[in-house]
Amino acid sequence: MPRQLPPLNALRAFEAAARSESFTRAAEELCVTQGAVSHQVKALEATLGIELFKRERQRLVITDAGREYLNVVRDALDRIAAGTERVLQRQNSGVLTVSTSPDFAAKWLVNRLGRFGEAHPGIDLRISATMHHVDFVREEVDVAVRHGDGNWSGLDAVRLCTEQLFPVCSPKLLSGRNRLAKPSDLLKTPLLHLDDSQAWSQWFDAAGVAGAELSHGLTLNRASMLIDAAIDGQGVALARTTLAAWDLINGRLARPFDLGLKLARTYWIVCPKATSMKPKIATFRDWLLAEAAEDVRRLRKTFAANRTGSRCARSG
């Protein structure tokens, strides 16, 4: 059998009027007119077939039947309020499962997770590093960080950052007699390659270095391994801004030349449109965007310092 329940607005109007002993004060609390409160209470009395208040001059006096019903209504509203608060707390806390690529997890995300935990102790992150694009319908994943053009049907996608592709190397290669002073100097240095990428040819063309022989050098199939090899001094790699940012900022990598290739594809924060404003997803998205913005600020400062250092080295 369906429940026989009076309208919630009528119950709220009755409870507020009984507590304040005034339709006017109840109306102020509920942000409605005094007439609306009076109408709601009268409608409730008609539904119940009982008188809830005596109207005596400028004062409301609750009846015995009204007082008995008030205890029931107040208990019910308190339970609804408490249950609502628990639901909202769960929405803004608990487990948040994040899917991302192994490269992004290793070179960008993992080093920052301690800061997220300190700022949001109520959210327990579960990071799933995988190459495949998650199916939000079939998999228990809340949000993903994907690399691409941002066009995924039915999904909410927010761009994390813009990116360039540029050479990176160990800071050791920027000093000494054999330091990298001009783009053509790279031809005397081991070049690190990502699979069969033609990126080095494109970069040398943009730098005005013709006829570069690029068949030599170590080839790796993961961008994170490529960057780690560059940090270790095994050669010079071409790296995307996002994946190189942490090591550039912390001095493990250096950028020998300003020239970078603009990239159309970048990282996006992705989730179903229906859950995009879920509090814990919005919290994580805002944190990711704040971290990326801070990277931009710190990278500008780092590159400016590197350019100053290079000019001093050349003048010396």
The predicted structure's pLDDT at residue 312: 45
User: What confidence tens digit (pLDDT) does each residue in 23-74 have?
Assistant: 999 999 999 999 999 999 999 999 999 999 998 877 889 999 999 999 999 9
Q: Which residues pair with 94 in a beta bridge?
A: 123
Tell me, rounded to whole angstroms, the distance of Cα 294 from its chain centroid.
Answer: 14
pTM: 0.69
Give exposure, 96-121, as e/b (b: 16+ Cβ within 10 Å). bbbbbbebbbbbbbeeeeeebeeebe
The predicted structure's pLDDT at residue 315: 46
User: What confidence tens digit (pLDDT) does each residue in 172-204 have?
Assistant: 988 877 788 899 999 888 999 998 668 999 999
Whether residue 92 is predicted with pLDDT greater than 70 in this model: the reply is no
- With contact defined as beta carbons under 8 Å apart, do 236 and 173 qualify? yes
Task: Report in angstroms the alpha-carbon separations of 274 from 14, 101, 281.
Answer: 35, 23, 11
The predicted structure's pLDDT at residue 87: 64
Average pLDDT in the chain: 89
Tell me, rounded to whole angstroms, the distance of Cα 51 from its chain centroid.
Answer: 54
Nearest to 143 by CA among 185, 101, 96, 184: 96
The predicted structure's pLDDT at residue 308: 54
Q: How far apart are CA 180 and CA 20, in angstroms?
A: 79
What average pLDDT does this structure show over 239-243?
Answer: 96
Q: What is the dihedral of CA 218, 224, 228, 234, to 10 degrees?
A: 10
Q: How far apart are CA 237 and CA 174, in angstroms?
A: 14
313 or 95: which carries more pLDDT confidence? 95
